[in-house]
Amino acid sequence: MADVIKLLPDHVANQIAAGEVVQRPSSVVKELLENAIDATATEIKLIVKDAGKTLVQVIDNGAGMSATDARLSFERHATSKITSAEDLFQLHTKGFRGEALASIAAIAHVEMNTRKEDDDVGVCIKIEGGKIISQDVNVTPKGTSIAVKNLFFNIPARRNFLKSDHVELRHIIDEFHRVALTHPDIQFELYNNGSEVFSLPATNIRQRIVHVFGSKTNEKLVPVEEDTEVVKLSGFVFKPEFSKKTRGEQFFFVNKRFIKSSYLNHAISSAFEGLLKDQAHPSYFLYLDVKPSTIDINIHPTKTEIKFDDEHTIYAILRSAVKHGLGQFNVAPVLDFDRDPNLDTPYNYQDKKADVPTIEVDANFNPFEEDVKKPSSYSGFSTPSYKKGGAGSWESLYAGLDEEQDQDDFSSIELESEEVTGSLFDEAAEETTSAITFQLQRKYIVTSIKSGMVIIDQSRAHQRVLYEQFLKDITVKEAVSQQLLFPLNLNFSKSEINLLKELRESLESTGFMFSNFEDDSVEISGVPVNVSESEIGGVLDQLLSDFKEEVPETGFSQTDLLAKTLCKTLSVRTGEPLNKVSQEALVNNLFACKEPHISPFHRPTYVTMTADDLDKKFI
């Protein structure tokens, strides 16, 4: 029998490695930006076209490379960061495995221009599909410029799996944010299709966060600092009132490297316990510095997951530090029964002596004298503004009060009712309805039919009703909008504002009215009839979160996703009580739908039980 195991050719092995390292254009952005940082660059420019499918170019003013180093950098497992296995546990750089450039060159057209500061000329290397096409001497500025063109040109199947340009660009911006937030001392620029998206000057961490997420972010930040032998913690958390229903702005950085950790995220959530609204998530930017020997970052191809030697201790330190930060800046309530803030002495009064109060009395003052006397020099008493008209003049002050009191009859005043009803629908007189409904466990609505009874899931049923209503509104464009008395201003990041602009036409078809768009805020002047003003922020947050994952290319798919998001956010929840009119209206509206038996998310909305089914239960 012939041997069956063979060594793979280099180009096949490189393509397999590329599948682990390069998943989408944002993966190329991450690797190239990290290489530029390792090259001690102070200015980094990122240029993308067609969301990175056509071009991803990174230009830096770093150390540059010689001709030999430039050629070797595209070989597999060629790196200047480590020399032995022990170096893997003392890492102070970003890239170290030497697979990034080799993997990228295997699936794209790559052109590198690089020059060291001491060299007169640089080198230009062109590679296509892992094969070096040319290597020439070139006049180029100090540093390195790498252009990656036509990603996945030789793997069309992988290229077909890429999402739309909007989604891929958002992934690129996310990677750009993760790198830019970690290195505020480096100037970053991002250009997409020739237009500037970000221009971030070198600054400190707080200002970098403000530059990335908008000027309104500064007032939301609460500093967090803690220095221990295990970990040095610094960064910021958002105030509880600015929490969101989506996990958007949550960043952990360990040794200047972005990581994902659900375990550490739970520590932050527990620190905010009792301060957040239901189903809200805190936002944070936290930087952890630990000894490189106590972590292992080589457990994931993208290096976004790491292992800690003592994860439980870091959890406890993180939780207590965030709690301390919230309490220190009076964000969280503090109970201190021994301290009275009214007895605190202001700083500018600490060295002053107390003034002893004095009392002066005008012995000649007579309030019943007819003539107005000259005011006393004592300023502690003021003369009444009315004319003193003798002993009987004071009675004139009360003249007519009895008559006015008789004229005012407060019993005839009608007060506006402030009764709040739990109805979600237009109420009709309960006497006109004949169906018998009742709510079970604040989750199901039970009603009778000829053959038995129907048990309806109130949340799913309401989702189906709202879904078909929103589809009709967006398609026909006849939705009713209620105008706000005072326009509402909401703050979002630049990428979220751009996404809202893309969805503006569809949102206005549902009843939203946008009066103004700024770089980091939007002004809303009208909302759909069934949306309250307090729900607007949560609805748009959920909408942006869903559309960040995928923005459909076709209009129908976009409308479908928009309607699903709105109905999921605005539907009645499980555990919410409904009165009789609301129950009956929900039942009638459900069975008036085109597909009443399933929710928009393909879950059953109701089940039926016939009399025979009930009879079988008693056998």
Q: Tens digit of pLDDT for each residue in 584-608?
A: 999 999 999 999 999 999 999 999 9
User: For residue range 23-32, what is the model confidence (pLDDT) as tens digits?
Assistant: 889 999 998 9
- In CATH terms, the superfamily for domain 431-608 is MutL, C-terminal domain, regulatory subdomain (3.30.1370.100)
Provide the pLDDT confidence category of residue 49 given band limits of 50, 70 and 90: very high
> What pTM does this model have?
0.69
Radius of gyration of the chain (CA): 35
| Cβ-contact 129, 113 below 8 angstroms | no
Topology at the third CATH level for domain 205-328: Ribosomal Protein S5; domain 2 (3.30.230)
The sign of the CA dihedral 457, 460, 465, 468 is negative
Most confidently modeled range among 150-164, 295-309, 424-438: 150-164
Q: Which residue has the higher pLDDT, 85 or 296?
A: 296
Neighbours of 234 (CB within 10 A): 17
Where in the chain are the domains? Answer: 10-200, 205-328, 431-608
Q: For residues 192 and 201, what is the distance between their CA atoms, to the nearest angstrom?
A: 18
- 111: pLDDT strictly greater than 90: yes
| Of 28-42, 422-436, 441-455, 595-609, minimum mean pLDDT range | 422-436
CA distance 57 to 110: 10
Q: Does domain 10-200 correspond to CATH entry 3.30.565.10?
A: yes
Mean pLDDT of 450-456: 89
Query: Over 80: is that where the pLDDT of 34 sits?
Result: yes
CA angle 43, 48, 52 (to 5 degrees): 130
Give CA separation, 281 vs 131, 246, 322, in Å.
48, 6, 14
Residue 109 has pLDDT above 90, yes or no: yes
Mean pLDDT of 370-385: 50
Start-end of H helices in 527-608: 536-549, 555-570, 580-591
Task: Categorize the per-residue pLDDT at 347 as very low, low, confident or very high, splitting at 50, 70 and 90.
Answer: low
Q: What is the pLDDT of residues 478-517, one digit of tens each?
A: 777 888 888 888 888 777 888 888 888 888 888 888 888 8
Scanning 350-431, the segments in alpha helix (DSSP H) are 401-407
> Looking at residue 23, what is its pLDDT?
84
Rounded to 10 degrees, the C-alpha dihedral 62/65/71/73 comes to -50
Q: Does the pLDDT value for residue 430 go beyond 60?
A: no
529 CA to centre of own chain: 26
Query: Both tokens of residue 452?
Result: 């038995």
| pLDDT at 381 (0 to 100) | 47
In Å, what is the CA distance from 319 to each residue of 107, 256, 296, 420, 564?
Answer: 44, 20, 22, 40, 36
pLDDT of residue 209: 92
pLDDT given at position 409: 55
Q: Are 144 and 37 in contact, with CB atoms under 8 Å apart?
A: no
Structure token digits, residue 356: 């002893």
- The answer to whether residue 525 scores a pLDDT higher than 80 is yes
For 285-296, what is each residue's pLDDT tens digit?
999 999 888 877
Token pair in block for residue 424? 């979600």
Supply angle C-alpha 491, 495, 496, rounded to 5. 45
